[in-house]
Structure formats: structure tokens, C-alpha cells
A and B are shown apart, each in its own frame.
Chain A
Amino acid sequence: MATGDLVPTHFPARRAAQVALHHLNTHHGSPFRVFGLQRVHTATAEDQVVGTAGRKYSLDFSVTDYGSSGSVLRCSAEVLFPRTETHTHTPPEVHLRCEDLTHISSSPEELAFYQKHTAPHSAISAHDLPDSQGNISQDMQPFWHLARVAASFIMLRESSENTEYNMAQVANLTQQETSEKQLMLKYHVLLHDIVSQEIIHWKLLCSWSPEGGVSVRETEWLPKCPHDTGPPTAH
């Protein structure tokens, strides 16, 4: 793997940036805010030997919020992929700063969405978001965004220098009853890893509120066939 200055358009920088994106979404994502990578501007990599051993990437990149605002933010991050002696996977560590991030607060849309779906008798369920043709109704988009944010917790945890994750589709979602002041949702999501080209199925339980953000309570990997030995990073 490359060390020193990296070509920003090539995969080592891009994979590291995508990891930073997953981290960003876990902290700041919502039904109306999901960040995607726009461009990597500069990137370097070096071997870190002091403290956690591994490869450390330093990145300068821009992201787009395609949840609703379409705004573009400039970010910088350090992403460390730890090197472990054993064969178990250790999630990457991310330190991230984006301009204008602290100015982002709950929007009226978020509050309205939250009120509507935490009202008594709200029992949302859906499948195939988007459908095969890429269609998704306006009403369902926030649930799709929320899935992407929740999936980011998994994608972040599962990432390595040899993966590049996106969420391919939401297979289904069902709202869960809860006594907490949260929107509680069970999801079955399909993740896509560009490097292995695998589609990986995960079930997850997540909660969201405007003040609290997204939190993932449970995750479960679903093998695609009986002799499946584990998600790509386990190999």
C-alpha cells in the first residue's frame, strides 16, 4: 500500500475518505442529513508505530449533504487502520473536523417528521427502498436516509483498507413500539462492498430523535448461504 503523498482520485485515499464519511454520518446524520463524498483534495499516508500500530491517512476532502440541503462542506480527517497481530478485525479510528458542522441543528422538517412518526399508532413499514427502478417516494426518503446513517455504524466498524462500503438498498423496515422518546426502527439493509463486490445483508435496530441523533442498538449479520463464513472483513 502507498505511503507518503497519495493521488486523491485513486482508491487508497478514497477508501480512507469513505471511512471518514461513515464516521461523519454516525455523528451528524439524520433523516434529513446524509453526507456523501464529493471529492478528495489531498491525502497522505504513513505507518504509525507509536501508540496503536497501523496505517494512518490524513485527508482533506469535501462532502455533500444529499439529505436535503445539498450543501457542500470542507472537512479534514485522520483515519487510522490498526494493524493487529491476530486475525480479528479492529475497526478504524477517525478524527474529523468539518467547517460549519457546529452550526447544523435540528431543522423544522426533522421536528415535524419526529412528531408525526412518534405519535401514537404510527406504525410505518416498507420494503425495497428504493425499488428496482430506483424509485422512492418523498414520504419514504427520510426513512431511507435514516437507514443509511444507521448502516454507517456497521460500515464504519467493518471497514478496512481493503473495503469500500455503500448501502445498496433497504430490504425492509418496520417501526417498533417503544416507551422511549425515540423513533425506533428495525431495518434489513443490503450493503455493497466495491472491493469484493459482495452484497452483505444486515439487520439492525436503531433509534433516532432530533436532540439525540441516531443510535444503533443491535446489529445482526445475515449469511447469504449456509456455508457463509462471515462478512468480507472477517476474511
Chain B
Amino acid sequence: MLIATLCKKMTRLLFLGALFVAVFAKRTFKRDQVLRINAKDDAQISLLKELSEQAHLGLDFWMEPVHESLPVDVHVPFHSLQAVRAFLAYNQIQYQVMIMDVQGLLENEEREMLKYNAFPRSTDDFVYSTYHDLKSIYSFMDMLVAENSMVSKIVIGKSYESRPLNVLKFSTGANRPGIWIDTGIHSREWVTQASGIWFAKKIVTDYRRDPVLTDILNKYDIFLEIVTNPDGFAYTHSSDRMWRKTRKPNPGSSCVGVDPNRNWDAGFGGAGSSSNPCTETYRGPSAHSEPEVKAIVDFVKSHGNLKAFVSIHSYSQMLLYPYGYKSTPAKDQAELYQLARKAVTKLWSLYNTYYRYGSIITTIYQASGGTIDWTYDQGIKYSYTFELRDTGRYGFILPANQIVPTAEETWLALMAIMEHTKNNPY
């Protein structure tokens, strides 16, 4: 306690000194630095929070002090550097200089930005930490295919508005069983399509580098549909960020669209979906009435050898397995539960993101006509749905700087599921 008080007094003196200097200093970014601070415990986090409250220092936290397991990045104006470094040294708080000269970086960045404004020329140029539109994502897919012989693009159908339904196939040999991943079936869940892009790049990057993934790909094909609902996605960009459904008009109604995750032939029409076209969970006139859904149904049936199926949504931070339409536990409930727990633990290990897991109907709500209930009843045992970050603070409009951390942690869970699938053939 005494040390904390001494600390406070000392820091106050230093801050007053810095303030004096600050008044007479001109504000540019020259010689500003960005520090990455690694707090080792709660007490240091508290000190950093106090530091962040000293408005006259002009600190700009790129990553706020939250928890000792997370780095704290702060842009420190030149006039405050001495004070901040003294504070950190005095309190024995470890840090590194991440950016030596912010002005220099900005000048570089402006040059880089010109590159970003034009189309990226390769998937190494592509910016994963921002949200992209449909054109940009489709162009990414084509680049990835062009750069990697193991990747091909399959068009499994057309959306209602005639957009191609593109699936990336990652394959190192013929006649393999498959693993399916889809993102963006609900168009407003933007972190999912963004994560899908990252997964695609991750697969090609890690093949022949990561032994587990390499082993998986030597036995299984991976199918990845990044924009499962392209009409809805285009609409979230052009007109309504909160659009969820497809964009097919409903005869006799002024309301558009069907919930593609209530349109599957699993408990279709039951409780947990709506018969009203104006609602977000409208099931559609009949099972598989939506071309976006029918295309996947046809693909799954004609492939005939998918062993895992993962459909990705946001938000709520959950990993779910069947059933959604009925409370009867799935035949493989015990195994699905254990695997979910394992996957969620792996996910948590990266950034301490807390996920709940269980069957759809017990964990989130009753939902009929859902994707993974259908795939499970088709015999695809490892059928899972994710609900990615967050738990409601930002909800659907998750800040872009969380895309990559979300994708990274989710990938660990996906790897757990894929590895288990590979080790438990059926």
C-alpha cells in the first residue's frame, strides 16, 4: 500500500514535469513511440489504468490495459516519453519499443496505403484485419487458387440474385473423405466471413509446416464456403448492416428473405422457426426452398463422404452440437460434448476467450430446420455450430481489430475438431 502511495506521489511529480514540458512542445508525431507493455499481474494492470487516466500525457492506447495475459500497446507522444518510461521503470513494468518513430511509420504507411487502395496483388498483400466486400473476397479466392496448386474453386450453385456460390477445395489427393466449413450463412455476422478468409490463408500457409494439419490434409479434403449467403452479404454493404436472411422475395408479402438456418429438412416447420415472412427466423415455404441451402444439400449428398461439418455464426461465444429442433439428445451426445469441451479449452488457451458449449436446444434456444441437425441426421457425426465473438458488447459489429484474434483462437478449436475426426474414422 505504502509503495503504491509513494508511487502515486512520484508519478504525479513526474506528470507535472511532463505537463510543463508539454505546454511548450509542438504536437507532431516526430519521435513519438509506441510501447508494448507486458504487465505481470493485476497490480501492474491497475497502475497502467491509472496511467491511462492522466489525460495531459496525451497517451493513445491502441490496446487498453485489461488483463495481465494481454499486451498493452500505447502510442506515447515524445513529450511524455521520459515520464512514462520512468514510471514503467520505477514500477518494474516490462515493456518493449514497438515503433521507434511514429512519424516515420506514418510516412511509410501512406506509401503502403496506396497499395491497399488498389487491389492487393497477392494473398500476402491482402489485409486480413479489416472487413471486405464481396468483390474483394471473391478476388481473394481467385488469387489463392492461382497461388496454390492444392486449392481449387467449385461453384456449387447460384444465389437467388444469381451470384456464384463459391467453395474452396483444399486437396492433396483424390477420392478423400471431406471436412466442410461454412461462414457467412447469416450475412450480418461479418466476423465469420472475415475469419473464413483467414482460415483459407492459414490452411495453405500451414500445409507442410504444421504436422497435424499436414496429416489431416493428407487424408481429408477441406471444403470452405466463405460467403454462404452472398445476396445478404451484398445487402449488408449496400443497404442494411443488420440484414440476416436471404434476399428472395416472398409471394403475397412485402417482406423479403428466408432464414437459411431454419430452411433445412430437419424438424422443418416445427417450434423454433417462424411461418411469418416478415420475421428473422422465417423458415421459407418449404425445406430447401432457398437456392443457397439447396446448393449445399446437393453438394453434401453427391459428395457422400463428408465426415465433419462446421457451420459458423456470430455472436455469443458458443460451440454447439445437435439437436436444435428436439430435446432428445443426439446418439453421440457424450462424444460430441467431450470434443466440444476440448475444442473450447484450446480456443480459450490463446486469449482467454470464454465459450459455452452444449446442444443447441439446451444452450441457446430451440431452433428447427437448422443446418447441423440436417447434416447430423445425414450421418455426418461431427456436426458443430460456432457462435463467435463477442457476447453482446459489440455484437454483430465487432471491431475489425478483433478479426484476426477471433480467427486465430477459433482455428485452434477447428483443428481440435478436425484432428479428432481424423483420429476417429467411421
**Chain A residues within CB distance 8 Å of chain B:** 7, 9-11, 36-39, 66, 69-70, 108-109, 112, 130-135, 166-169, 190, 192, 194-199, 224-225, 227-228
Contacts and interface: CB of A to CB of B under 8 A. Distances in A.
A11 B393 contact: no
Contacts of A198: 279-280
A190 B354 CA distance: 26
A138 to B, nearest CB: 8
A132 B280 CA distance: 20
B278 A37 contact: no
Contact of B278 (A132, A168, A195, A225): A225
Contacts of A199: 242, 280
Contacts of A132: 131, 190, 236, 241, 397
A131 B400 CA distance: 11
Given A9-B357, A66-B393, A70-B66, 11 more contacts: A38-B354, A108-B53, A131-B397, A134-B399, A134-B402, A168-B395, A168-B396, A192-B392, A196-B281, A198-B279, A227-B278
Interface of B: 49, 53, 55, 64-67, 130-131, 190, 236, 241-242, 244, 254-255, 259, 278-281, 316, 354, 356-358, 362-365, 391-400, 402
Contacts, number: 90
Which of B255, B281, B357, B395 lies at the interface centre, i.e. has the most chain A CB atoms within 10 A of its CB? B395
Given A11-B364, A196-B280, A168 B397 contact: yes
A135 B400 contact: yes
A38 B53 CA distance: 24
Where chain B touches its partner, the secondary structure class is loop
A166 B66 contact: no
B254 A134 contact: no
Nearest to B259: A197
Given A9-B358, A36-B391, A196-B279, A130 B399 contact: yes
A113 B394 CA distance: 23
B281 A197 contact: yes
Nearest to A66: B393
Contact of A130 (B53, B281, B394): B394
Nearest to B243: A199
A194 B318 CA distance: 13
B426 to A, nearest CB: 28
B363 A10 contact: yes
B156 to A, nearest CB: 26
Contacts of B67: 70
Q: Which 6 A-B pairs have the closest CB atoms?
A: A134-B399, A166-B392, A197-B280, A9-B356, A134-B397, A199-B242
Contacts of A37: 391-392
B56 to A, nearest CB: 12
A131 B398 CA distance: 10
B407 to A, nearest CB: 15
A168 B400 CA distance: 16
Contacts of B363: 9-11
B34 to A, nearest CB: 16
Contacts of B55: 112
A228 B278 contact: yes
